[in-house]
Amino acid sequence: MSDRHLIVLNVNDSEHEVLVEPRKTLVDVLRHDLGLTGTHVGCEHGVCGACTVLVDGEPVRACLVFAVQAEDADIRTVESLSREGELSDLQQAFSAHHGLQCGFCTPGFLMLAEGFLAQRPDAGREEIREAVSANLCRCTGYQTIVDAVEATAVRRCHVQEKEATA
């Protein structure tokens, strides 16, 4: 008989009680127990970044975290980006700048960029390029991803400036 633990995960602002084995990864709980299949499983070694989610605002490889380790943390998946069917500004920028092709790596890039921009809202192009180099994409060549993240950073800075002067 396997040892199981009842844990409570706060995912996308909702609490979920889940009965898990201690060895079960966060990505498996998100996908199989909670049905949040936007988080993709790629290499399962923490290299590709397809499984990137935000844990307490930090980009984290969900394939490297046991679900029991994420209890009491604030977890955000790609599903948290759109609200009421509306794509977020970052998602819109990825679409407008063709920052996705096959789309497999896109959720991981979106969450990596969301976490990065929260920490570095005024990041320049070189900083963005360095940040997105943490994830792997076999289709885009990264240029369009950098373009999308940069456009989002610029847009968000303009919005904050307008709000500050209003």
Contact 74, 55 (CB under 8 A): yes
**The CATH number of domain 89-165 is 1.10.3210.10:** no
- Per-residue model confidence (pLDDT) at position 137: 92
Residue 151 in this model has a pLDDT that exceeds 90? yes
Contact 126, 149 (CB under 8 A): no
CATH class of the domain whose range is 5-80: alpha beta
Mean pLDDT score across all residues of the chain: 95
Domain ranges in the chain are: 5-80, 89-165
pTM for this predicted structure: 0.94
Q: State the pLDDT confidence band at 140, using cuts at 50, 70 and 90.
A: confident
The residues near 24 (Cβ < 8 Å, ≥ 6 apart) are 66, 67, 68
| CB-count exposure of residue 108 (10 Å: 0-12, 13-18, 19+) | buried
- Per-residue model confidence (pLDDT) at position 51: 98
- In tens, the pLDDT along 80-121 reads 999 999 999 999 999 999 998 899 999 999 999 999 999 999
